[in-house]
Amino acid sequence: MALGGLISNRNFGFFIGSGNGCLRLGKSGAEVSNRAILFTNALCRNHQPLQANLQHELGHRTSFGCFLQPRMDSTIRFRNSFKECGISKINRSRAYYKSEDSDITEGVVPSADGSAEAILVEGNLQNASPWWQQFPRRWVIVLLCFASFLLCNMDRVNMSIAILPMSQEYNWSSATVGLIQSSFFWGYLLTQILGGIWADKFGGKVVLGFGVVWWSFATIMTPIAARLGLPFLLVVRAFMGIGEGVAMPAMNNMLSKWIPVSERSRSLALVYSGMYLGSVTGLAFSPMLIHKFGWPSVFYSFGSLGSIWFLLWLKFAYSSPKDDPDLSEEEKKVILGGSKPREPVTVIPWKLILSKPPVWALIISHFCHNWGTFILLTWMPTYYNQAWSSTSLNLGYYASYHG
């Protein structure tokens, strides 16, 4: 056992305990063994062992400078022994420390000369928590929201690739393909505002968890619905849009409660990046799955990932920091920041909101962004297939690159 230099009072000595052999310190040498040894000058000036088998109670206060700092009900014994080392006689002192909480006098081992030496044993020191338990809980929420948006766009864009072999198998026309592609947005439009209302009423955890389970189930049901007929497929795709429509308002509800204002921009940026990563991932892996296992495998594999996410969501997510029993007081202070809880809004001032020019600027820019994004994600693979006669393996890579 090796212990480094431990200095409590630089005027009164040091602690050493490593190696084997003999050293000379000043006029008298000191034997250094591989056990914990306290030199005679390592004690405070009020407790120098002057004779062998010296035992006394330490009743002084820690302000005297003794680095041992025992409690008032603790005892420590010192035993001096002399041993020949080469020519010089050396003086060696051993410390035996005992407290109520941890008795290290029982942890003794024999030394080379047959005497017992005290060894350090672990007392009631708290073990350091693993790194995953020290990870901030608020960023666990952010990462789970990021993963939900990743799955959201993976399940959304897989139809853009799978629609090509599906249309060949079921002899769908271009108009039918366009109807199937648009059916997703029928449900997606319905729950945008309702998702925010539900999140305020039931909590973001419930609403976002419901949305992921709902759209994952609809994704798995897509091949079955396609075999049953076109009306069933349109209904299932609309149901999938209903599930994904609540994701964004529920996520914003969660982050508004969990993330302090100083960290809100970076957390939102990370979550929204999950959408684009999901598009790239879905468009890249869908052709490979279709080529090896057939087009139904895309919906089965992507949809099943939602169940894994949901289990993690149930275990780690809470709608509010106040609901999390494992949240530390330090992080709770960082999140809340001394802010006072506000009553939920019961009446939305729509007239006041819509009268602000920045609101309309955001609406118009968001409309243009979504128009271009979804046109590319939905129709880019079909364009490459019809205009360039690209193979199914190349479609996803081209679409993910330009999308």
Q: What is the pLDDT along the chain (403 residues), one digit of tens a residue?
A: 343 333 333 333 333 333 443 333 343 333 333 333 333 444 444 444 444 443 444 344 433 344 344 444 444 444 444 444 444 444 444 544 454 554 444 444 444 444 444 444 444 444 566 776 678 899 999 999 999 999 999 999 999 999 999 998 999 998 999 999 999 999 999 998 899 999 989 999 999 999 999 999 999 999 999 999 999 999 999 999 999 999 999 999 999 999 998 899 999 999 999 999 999 999 889 988 998 999 999 999 999 999 999 999 999 999 999 899 888 888 888 888 755 666 767 788 889 999 999 999 999 999 999 898 888 888 888 887 777 766 555 555 555 544 5
- Note the pTM of the prediction, 2 decimals: 0.64
The DSSP-derived string for 303-317 is HHHHHHHHHHHHHH-
Kindly state whether residues 104 and 228 are assigned to the same domain. Answer: no
The CATH number covering residue 234 comes to: 1.20.1250.20
For residue 29, give the H/E element and its range. Answer: strand 28-32
Kindly state whether residues 103 and 73 are assigned to the same domain. Answer: yes
The one-character DSSP state at 93 is E
Cα Rg of the chain, angstroms: 35
Longest dimension (CA), the chain: 104
Kindly state whether residues 297 and 212 are assigned to the same domain. Answer: yes
Amino acid at 14: F
Kindly state whether residues 112 and 138 are assigned to the same domain. Answer: no
Structural domain range at position 83:
21-118
The answer to whether residue 369 is domain-embedded is no
Kindly state whether residues 201 and 82 are assigned to the same domain. Answer: no
Taking CA atoms, 362 is separated from 45, 189, 366, in Å, by 74, 18, 6
Kindly state whether residues 84 and 220 are assigned to the same domain. Answer: no
Give the integer Cα–Cα distance in Å for 75 and 36.
Answer: 17
| Residues 263 and 270: beta-carbon distance below 8 Å | no
Answer with the one of 91, 118, 145 that is the final residue of a domain: 118
